[in-house]
Structure 1
C-alpha cells in the first residue's frame, strides 16, 4: 500500500468539518505489524526497516496493525530533516543500531489503516482516529501526536516554534491510498524544496571532487527547469555520497529545459535527473534561481515523478 497524500492548501481550511495536525519535517513511513514482524515502508514502497531498529518494539504492542505516520529526528528539540538524513540511507544493521543510540528517531503515528485484520481505509478519518487514540501508543520511540480544532491558531503556533507547518484533514475523509486528495491539505512554513540533480561542478582546484550540484524543479511540461547551483552543505561525507550516486548517471547534454547560465554550466558534468535531494533557501530571486540554497539530504523516499505530481496538483 502507498500512503495518502495531501494537496497544497491556498489557506488554512475553516469550519468544524476540518481538523488540524502539525506537519513534521521527516520521512513518511507505513508501519506494518503482522505475525510478530514489523515492516517499515517509505513512500516509494522501499523497505526501510533496517534503518530504524528502535521501532522494532512496535511488534510488542498489538498482533496486527498498519500505521501511517512520519519518522522524525530531533535537533535542539525540533524535527530536522538534515538530522534525519543520517538515518534514512543506512542499510547496515550494526551502524543503524549505533545511530539509534546517538541519533534516535521518533515515529509520529497519525493514522490507523488496519487493526486485527480489518481494513479501516473505508472508514472516515474520525473513526480511524478514535481507534488510534484508544490504542494508547506512547513510548520514547513512537507516539500519537495531538490534533487541533483551530487551524489558524496552530499555524501561528507552529511558525513561532520553528515547526514545518500544518496539515488539515476533513473529518469525513476516507483513506485514498496512493492518491493526492483535497481532503488533506498541507500548509508549510519553511522554505525547503525537493529538487532533482541535473549536473555537478568540481570543487575549485580539482577536476573530480564534487563541489556543487546543479538542480531543477518541474517546468510544468514534464521536464526540468534549472533552479540554481547548490554548494553549501556538500562537504565531507555528504559530497562523497552524492558523488557515488551521480557517477553512473552521466549524460552528454544538460537535462534542463531552460538555458543554464554560463557561470554555472562551465566545467559541469551533466547527469540524468533521477536523484532527488532536499534543499533549503531564501526563496527564488528575480531570475527564478534559488537564493542561497543549502543541501539538506537525499530524498530516497521520493522519485522525480513525485515532484511532477506535486507541481501538477
Structure 2
C-alpha cells in the first residue's frame, strides 16, 4: 500500500489572486507518489496501484537520496508538449523489459511539485512554502525528472498555458499544509478543458459488425451519487484501441442503463450496457448546455483513476 493518499485540488471558477497564492502549470499526465527508501524506488498511482514497473526511468532517483516521498505528475512529451495519448503507451505496461524498450522511444518525465517526507521526517503538516524550500534545496534535476517553476501571477500563467496548448494551472495557498487524501480549496485548478475523464456506461458495435466495438456511451457525475449521460464517443476507437477497450468492458455487462437520466433512443438502441467502472480520457471541444460532449475523441483508459475520483459536477 502507498504511504499515503495524495492531496487533490478543487475546481476554480476564477484564478485566485494576491500574495497568499502561488501558481503552477497543470500537466496533462498521470499523478504519482514516488517513494524512495534505502535506494529503492516505488511509484504509486492515484488509484493506489504499484506502477513502478511501467516507469524504469525513475529507478535512478534512489541513487540521490536514501529517504524521500515525492508528489508529482508523470508526463510523456509529443512535439515538446505533454500528451496523455502518448502516455497511454506507457502507463498500462507491467512487464519491466517491455517498459525499458518503450522508455528508449517514448520516455517519460516526472514533474515534481511537492515533498512529503525527507530523511524520515513527515512534512505534510508544514506549510507549502516550507515544503517547497526543501524541495528546491534537493536540486532534483535529471534527465527524467525536474522541479518545474512556480509563478506569482496566476492569470498571466493561465493565458500563457492557453497559448502553449497546455492543460491549465493549479493555484496553491502558500500557508497550507498537505491535506492527505482530501480534496481541498487550498489547491484550486483551472483547466482549459480540452480533455476530461468520463465513465463508460455502454458500448455499441461497429456498423456492419456484431462484435467489434464502434462507440462507447459515457457519463459524468450527476451530483447525487449517480451518472448523467454525456454522449457517445466513437472517434479514436478504430483498430487495437477499440479491441483493448472492448476486452475491459465485456465482463461488465448489465441489463439496463447505468445513467440516471434517459439516454436518447438513437444512442440507446443496440447498446450493450455495462457497469460504470471503466474511466477513459476523451478530448472534446466543449461540454454543451445540454451536458453533451461536443465532437469527443477517445484518448485512452485511465487506469490511474476510479469512478469515485470523478466526483466533480461540471454544468458548463
TM-score (norm 1): 0.97
Residue of structure 2 in register with 1:236 after alignment: 239
SS at match of 1:214: strand
Residue of structure 2 in register with 1:140 after alignment: 143
**Mapping of residues 134-283 of structure 1, within 5 Å:** 134-283=137-286
- Please report how far the alpha carbon of residue 265 of structure 1 lies from its aligned counterpart in structure 2 after TM superposition: 1.2
Give the count of matched residue pairs: 311
Indicate whether 1:303 and 2:306 are aligned. yes
Residue of structure 1 in register with 2:13 after alignment: 10
Contact 2:193 2:286 in 1 (8 A): no
Residue of structure 2 in register with 1:44 after alignment: 47
Whole-Å Cα distance in 2 between the matches of residues 73 and 207 of structure 1?
Answer: 35
Whole-Å Cα distance in 1 between the matches of residues 98 and 239 of structure 2?
Answer: 18
- Change in Cα spacing, 1:21 to 1:285, as seen in structure 2 (3 Å) is closer
- Please report how far the alpha carbon of residue 230 of structure 1 lies from its aligned counterpart in structure 2 after TM superposition: 0.3
Whole-Å Cα distance in 1 between the matches of residues 143 and 289 of structure 2?
Answer: 46
Whole-Å Cα distance in 1 between the matches of residues 287 and 14 of structure 2?
Answer: 21
Whole-Å Cα distance in 1 between the matches of residues 214 and 34 of structure 2?
Answer: 37
Whole-Å Cα distance in 1 between the matches of residues 114 and 229 of structure 2?
Answer: 37
Indicate whether 1:86 and 2:71 are aligned. no
Residue of structure 2 in register with 1:106 after alignment: 109
Whole-Å Cα distance in 1 between the matches of residues 6 and 115 of structure 2?
Answer: 11
- Please report how far the alpha carbon of residue 70 of structure 1 lies from its aligned counterpart in structure 2 after TM superposition: 0.2
Gaps of 5+ in 1: none
Q: Displaced runs of 4+ in structure 1, greater than 2 A?
A: 284-288
SS at match of 1:96: helix
- Please report how far the alpha carbon of residue 146 of structure 1 lies from its aligned counterpart in structure 2 after TM superposition: 0.3
- Please report how far the alpha carbon of residue 287 of structure 1 lies from its aligned counterpart in structure 2 after TM superposition: 3.4
Whole-Å Cα distance in 1 between the matches of residues 27 and 106 of structure 2?
Answer: 17
Contact 2:167 2:194 in 1 (8 A): no
Indicate whether 1:53 and 2:56 are aligned. yes
Whole-Å Cα distance in 2 between the matches of residues 272 and 154 of structure 1?
Answer: 40
Contact 2:167 2:193 in 1 (8 A): yes
